[in-house]
Amino acid sequence: MTVLSVVVQDVLEGKLFARMVTRSDTQARPLLRWAGSKRQTVERLKQLWGTDHTRYVEPFAGSAALFFAIRPNKALLADKNADLIDTYNVLCDRPLELHTRLTSMVRSKDLYYSLRSQDPRSLPPFERAIRFLYLNRYCFNGLYRTNASGEFNVPYAPSGTGSFPSADVFEASARLLATATRRAWDFGTTLRYVKEGDFVYLDPPYAVESRRVFREYGSFGFGREELLRLAGHLRRIDERGAVFLLTYADCSEARELFSEWKQKRIAVRRNIAGFAGARRRAYELLVSNCTGPFGPR
């Protein structure tokens, strides 16, 4: 008997509050704003996930939009950004405390810059998570960028960031994240653990030579050297009997570098200079070793 069926039965007998039904039926979803998030293409991307895959692996987790859409039973989520993974760990343990604290904090430019000026290394894990989530919610365009000293330096966004999701969503998302193994690893370390039957989704920062694409993430930079290293890992993933799906900016470098794999070009909507009022159509490249279809255009 599922949690939902127990709740409904008890409500009919007058034993429980209706709010418990709402909580048990709430879908987990990403809690973070993230530059380059795949929320608008996630329905297309998840077509390659099948019941024969034994584990979901994502080495550039970010907001983990595809993970939340697929909701796999077993997963490895990794990211080089240790602050991100530490925040996910705290979320798994204390979702309601995080939500209560965050929603009690006023949205303020002064508070934003006060938190940004803090050294996260001097804070306990819970306070680091509060700082990370607050700055992520109210920063410009959901960017994560650091200076040469590793200090977060994205400016405050006065509007257009939305509010924090409900407490129910915090709890549901924490429950799903708790089922995944979470690691603060470089993508190369993560991909060494890929094995037969895995489904690997890769969405690295874009390094495009032919046009300007935002890719400056401070100590999390991703250039052509990393892209070449990634290509080598894709070959090893294929040799191990795992399936991979890579999303990348549609460009001549990517089409050439990943020419041995199946490719599909898709249209996406992108903000110009990060402003929602100025949008243009852009294209991304889907690359996979999967023999199945990518789905309709």
Do 241 and 285 touch, CB atoms closer than 8 A? no
What per-residue confidence (pLDDT) applies to 223? 75
pLDDT (tens, 9 = 90+) of the chain, 297 residues, equals 334 333 333 333 343 333 333 344 578 999 999 987 777 789 889 988 988 999 999 999 999 999 999 999 999 999 999 999 999 999 999 999 999 999 999 999 999 999 999 999 999 999 999 999 999 999 999 989 888 888 999 999 999 999 999 999 999 999 999 999 999 999 999 999 999 999 999 999 886 554 444 344 445 557 778 889 999 999 999 999 999 999 999 988 889 999 999 999 988 876 544 555 555 678 899 999 987 656 443
- Residue 162's Cβ-side half-sphere holds a number of Cα atoms within 13 Å equal to 11
Distance from C-alpha of 234 to C-alpha of 290, rounded to nearest angstrom: 12
Rounded CA gap, 198 and 237, in Å? 9
Predicted pLDDT of residue 207:
65
Tell me how far the alpha carbon of residue 234 is from its chain's centroid: 20
pLDDT recorded at residue 116: 98
Question: Measured between alpha carbons, how far is residue 15 from residues 10, 18, 33 in Å?
Answer: 5, 10, 39
pLDDT in tens, 158-214: 999 999 999 999 999 999 999 999 999 999 999 999 999 999 999 998 865 544 443
Q: 272 with 256: CB under 8 angstroms?
A: no
Number of neighbours of residue 73 by Cβ within 10 angstroms: 10
Instruction: List the domains of the chain with CATH numbers.
Output: 1-27 (no CATH), 31-288 (3.40.50.150)
SS3 assignment for 213-248: CCCCCHHHCCCHHHHHHHHHHHHHHHHCCCEEEEEE
